[in-house]
Amino acid sequence: MNFTETTPVQEQAIPVILEKRDAIVCAQTGTGKTAAYLLPLLSNLQTEPHHENKINAIIMAPTRELAQQIDQQLEGFAYFTPFSSIAVYGGSDGDAWDVQKKGLLTGADVVIATPGRLLSHINLYDIDFSGVKYFVLDEADRMLDMGFYDDIMKIEGLLPKNRQTVMFSATMPKKIRQLAKTILHNPVEISIAISRPPETIAQSAYICYESQKVELLKYIFKNKKPAKAILFAGTKAKVKEIAKTLRKIGLSVGEMHSDLDQSQRDQTMHEFRSERIDILVATDIVARGIDIDDISLIVNFEVPRDVEDYVHRIGRTARAGDSGTAITLVSPQEQHRFLRIEKFLHKDIDKIPVPAELGSAPEYRPQKERKSKKSSRSQQKKRSNNVSHRKRTSVSKNVSTIKKRTPRRKSKSRSEKDQTGR
């Protein structure tokens, strides 16, 4: 397969996994991490005794696209070995369900699965997990972001305690460390620094108002007719809205988001790869783990919340030594996030003037925007405290009024008792 040198994550992770140690590995997409766990996993299956008719390894992935891609790579790596694998993911037809069911019940050597789909099978059938020796979580941070924590813990609870667990994550937030403490035993920590995007990507930005973004998109695609472009938006609702707008101006547009079933996703990706679709409007489902060549332009409709997400997104272009362009639309509320990206890159990203016909644009003053945001939050907090204080004062006045009135009511009650002789 022409692997001549290891990448940094492969160099550090492969020896640890070969030693059957638990590991938590922080490495971004595109660093060769799939081979970093698949190659030693196959080696361990070859050299160690294992159950031939039971599931020996489970690899968890956040999306069906990534599960498919891992399965394809495993097929390539395991071509001259006797090991079988099955990819278990949703959005497919009844025939695919039956194939998945058969693989799980007859004991495919390696199961690559999304958490929700695997749980669906677990809830219906008595699947034997007693032979599982290896448990791998790929893109663990994305799985937690998608709300799979409980599903992962349910699946983990069905596996033998005496197993090797390896977790890969592009970021290392507190919730990932908590998950690692829960399911890993004395893990080796491997951290590969986030690499900066290649210089072959021409990065630029429009500093604009939120209301100008859609018109800017029309302007960008009117002046640039890319063979392949990906436009990233933060939500599936925004993806649908943007795709509809671009189609209205005559552009060839496809959508990629979680509302599509597997056949729709496959069809969209096929048309995009074969250039029957020029622009793919997508959520971050395409930012990680999807291998598409020849992307000439990336557009961020919003500034990504994390630096890592920005790197993953624009890393879809300029692959295999090609050049590419990345444009980000930055509203005043997003300027402080964009500044974080610039600080990470150690450079100022080029700011393109907003076309005069779209009206005046805001200045790029991220520090001021951040201060005004903090000031606004502080004022809101102050107002909230004042309201709370007024409420407390009002309550205390009411309490004192009640206290003053209470003796009079008691006195009247006693005099009434005296009058009745009770």
pLDDT greater than 70 at residue 2: yes
Same fold, 8-191 and 201-368: yes
Q: Which CATH code, of 3.40.50.620, 2.40.128.50, 3.40.50.720, 3.40.50.300, is assigned to 8-191?
A: 3.40.50.300
pLDDT range class, residue 417, cuts 50, 70, 90: very low
- How far apart CA 408 and CA 332 sit, in angstroms, is 61
For 336-359, what is each residue's pLDDT tens digit?
999 999 999 999 999 999 999 999
> What is the mean pLDDT of the segment spanning 179-202?
89
For 201-218, what is each residue's pLDDT tens digit?
999 999 999 999 999 999
End-to-end CA distance of the chain: 103
pLDDT greater than 90 at residue 16: yes
pLDDT value of residue 323: 84
Overall pTM surpassing 0.85 (yes/no): no
How high does pLDDT run on average in the chain? Answer: 85
CATH class, domain 201-368, is: alpha beta
For 225-278, what is each residue's pLDDT tens digit?
777 899 999 898 999 999 999 999 999 999 988 788 878 888 898 899 888 999
In the chain, domain spans: 8-191, 201-368
387: exposed, middle or buried (Cβ count in 10 Å: 0-12, 13-18, 19+): exposed
Q: Which of 123, 126, 168, 152 is nearest to 30 (CA)?
A: 168
pLDDT value of residue 41: 97
pLDDT greater than 50 at residue 325: yes
Question: Following CA atoms 178, 180, 181, 183 in sequence, which dihedral angle do they give, to the nearest 10 degrees?
Answer: 120
- How far apart CA 396 and CA 111 sit, in angstroms, is 64
- Cα angle 67, 69, 75 (rounded to 5 degrees) comes to 105
Cβ atoms within 10 Å, residue 356: 8
Q: Which of 222, 210, 230, 276 is nearest to 248 (CA)?
A: 222
> What is the mean pLDDT of the segment spanning 115-137?
96
pLDDT greater than 90 at residue 84: yes
pLDDT greater than 50 at residue 151: yes
> What is the mean pLDDT of the segment spanning 387-401?
51
pLDDT greater than 90 at residue 405: no
